[in-house]
Amino acid sequence: MGKSDLLFLLFSCLALSSAYPVADNGLSRIKLKKMKLDEDNWIASWLESEAGESLRSYIMKNRFLGRLRDSSEDIDIVALKNYLDAQYYGEIGIGTPPQNFTVIFDSGSSNLWVPSSKCILSVACYFHSRYKSGQSRTYQKNGKSASIKYGTGAVSGFFSNDDAIVGDLVVKNQ
């Protein structure tokens, strides 16, 4: 077998191996991103902290009180916390058609939290995309309220069910 025959055999093997997909053993890969500290997110995080409590109370009392009194719709609060350049984020979609969100992949919690379009009392909601249930054909109202305290803060609001897209996975009715 000559040198040219050996090279032909090598290139043929490479071409054949790239034509067949490699077994993934049921794994899906999700691209992670590391965000730099954004000044707007830092300000939102500060306003949501204990240090920003007095300013937040003033805003809620004077600016939003009239809007709440006039609202015939139930309003729930979803508080968001900035993780100060210490967590990894990734893109997901929720609903049909998908509404895209950049979220923290948190292995310490079984819940996925995104702000709702009904979130008006949290300053952090103005710095993040909000989920609009009325724009999703697969949304299902759950009706359960939630209030959970984590080591980094608390979340309160309500549960909803919809399809979630993470990487190339579509998880129905989450």
pLDDT tens sequence across 44-55? 666 666 666 666
- What is the CATH classification number for the domain harbouring 138? 2.40.70.10
For residue 107, tell me if it sits in a domain: yes
Show the domain range for 117. Answer: 34-171
For residue 26, tell me if it sits in a domain: no
How far apart are alpha carbons 147 and 154 in whole angstroms?
A: 7
For residue 14, tell me if it sits in a domain: no
For residue 29, tell me if it sits in a domain: no
Residue 161's identity, in one-letter code, is N
Question: Is 124 within 8 Å of 81 (Cβ atoms)?
Answer: yes
For residue 92, tell me if it sits in a domain: yes
> So what's the pLDDT on residue 105?
74
* Across 114-127, average pLDDT: 85
For residue 66, tell me if it sits in a domain: yes
- Predicted TM-score (pTM) of the model is 0.55
Task: Name the domain count of the chain.
Answer: 1
User: Which H, E and C letters describe the chain, residue by residue?
Assistant: CCHHHHHHHHHHHHHHHHHCCCCCCCCCCCCCEECCCCHHHHHHHHHHCHHHHHHHHHHHHHHHHHHHHHCCCCCCCCCCCCCCCCCEEEEEEECCCCEEEEEECCCCCCCCCCCECCCCCCHHHHHCCCECHHHCCCCEEEEEEEEEEECCEEEEEEEEECCEEECCEEECCC
Express each pLDDT in 37-79 by its tens digit. 565 566 666 666 666 666 666 666 665 555 545 555 444 443 3
For residue 143, tell me if it sits in a domain: yes
126: Cα separation from own chain's centroid:
15
How far apart are alpha carbons 97 and 94 in whole angstroms?
A: 8
| Residue 26 in this model has a pLDDT that exceeds 50 | yes
For residue 25, tell me if it sits in a domain: no
